[in-house]
Chain A
Amino acid sequence: MEKLSFRHATRTALPGTRASAITGVVASGNLEVLLERNLAPDACRVEIDTAIAGYGAVWAAVVADFVARRQPGGLTITINDGGARPDTVSLRLAQGARLMEMP
């Protein structure tokens, strides 16, 4: 297991008012993403617990790409990873952000 933590500043807050959302399942090649709206509107924190060690640079790139695209200001995002590929991670992060924007 490896723990990773990333902090980003965003230009805006993620729209919506939902306090929390979860998507995905911890399974082989899959991950669960828990999103909680509990930070300052221009801050985003991503905490990752992954079964596969040694891919910190890939995680950093995927998270930075997500933050740049979605501007998830105000969110703490916590991930339990079962060895998902980067495209699956991007998809789950996008699904999670969408859930938080829904009424």
Chain B
Amino acid sequence: MTSQTPPAEPTPIAVRLEQVMVRFPAHPAPRTLLFDAAIESGKITAIAGASGSGKSTLLNLIAGFETPDAGRISIFGRPATDVPPALRPVSVIFQEHNLFAHLDIATNVGLGISPSLKLTPDDRARIERALDDVGLAGFERRLPPTLSGGERQRVALARALVRRRPLLLLDEPFAALDPALRHEMGDLLAALQKKEASTILLVTHHADDVRRLADRVLFLDDGKVALDEAAETFLKRTGPEAVVRFLGARSQAS
């Protein structure tokens, strides 16, 4: 795993996308997405925008689930464009189905250490510790369907913790949770980020998540990076139209 840890001299840039192009031939209409961005390390960056603006595609590109038609991606200074998903220094958490429903919690977390589940006693201790960190001590033998949605997401977070990958990608991780749980999960995420000093990329369509968690914001509009700025600046915006809609609709809802 040494190849995946960041170089000794940490670059301030965690992810760099240079002229990364993805073409969708004929969805309803042919679409071309073009990304140019630099994401700082050690911070929480929110990827915001309306649905269909390309948020998930951007995340898939960084995770390696999507291959660009043109352009270059580098992660912590290393070229990553053609690196398969498992070899990138990246952990991913989706909105749901992060856990294999038929495997118990400890096994689901253990898969993050070794997909063949060859676990040493030391590994088992790490799993316990990670579950403790996310407030789920003693849940080892439970099955995912017996947990609430929020608890399942925390297990996914525990798995990301034991994987020790420096970059954590979250694709609308709170979207299926009710407001109280969203807050709880958000606080947990912020606390863990401080402790591990990791880099987090958070796809969201909630202005609330930006307000509570994000240091920086990448705002996408129509398949392009429209804004790349500090969260405070972003939240004070009164234009353009798309940003106002993003901020307005959500603050009223919450």
A and B: bona fide binding partners: no
* Residues of A in contact with B (beta carbons under 8 Å apart): none
* Residues of B in contact with A (beta carbons under 8 Å apart): none
